[in-house]
Structure 1
Amino acid sequence: MEIKPDIKKLLELAHYKMPFGKYKDRYLVDLPIAYLVWFKQKGFPKGNLGNHMQTMLDLKSDGLEPMIRKIRQDFPRE
């Protein structure tokens, strides 16, 4: 079984910004892990934002944050 990353979703995740609150307009990758853990305990927002926040928490917890930063650097939004 071969695992293939969804490039479109990775690009979206790398460029997704927090739409509200204390960290408004920051890339999700730049959010402190404690903030993401707090949201996990309280309940992530519904929809894309919540899914992306959960994924970012998982990636950060697994030490994959540099991968997302590299994607954002190598594939800037126009």
Structure 2
Amino acid sequence: MQPEDLLLLVTRSMPYGKYKGRMIADLPGHYLNWFTRKGFPNGEMGRLLALMHEIDHNGLKPLLAPLRQRQNT
């Protein structure tokens, strides 16, 4: 993981699927779990989804709040 990846979670939207257009940081846990079972896509998107799954699974979503605030100012 690169530090920039955390910023990408709150600025990059899902490019396809049921939650197309939703920020990666806002994807529901059950959707991230589905990717865990089925396999994450290759490339950057898969890496970001896997990272978001780890954050969500371990209850660390509040750590993204300062990054969200920074984006809104």
TM bucket, shorter chain: 0.7 to 0.9
| Count of paired positions | 73
Letter in 1 for 2:55: L
In 2, Cα distance between equivalents of 1:13 and 1:54: 11
RMSD: 2.0
The percentage of aligned residue pairs carrying the same residue is 40
Q: Which runs of 4+ in 1 moved over 2 A?
A: 5-9
Query: What is the TM-score with the length of structure 2 in the denominator?
Result: 0.84
In 2, Cα distance between equivalents of 1:6 and 1:46: 17
Q: Which has the larger Rg? A: 1
Instruction: Choose the corresponding residue for 1:8, options 4, 7, 13.
Output: 4
Structure 1, unmatched stretches of 5+, are none
In terms of fraction of residues, the more helix-rich structure is: 2
Structure 2, unmatched stretches of 5+, are none
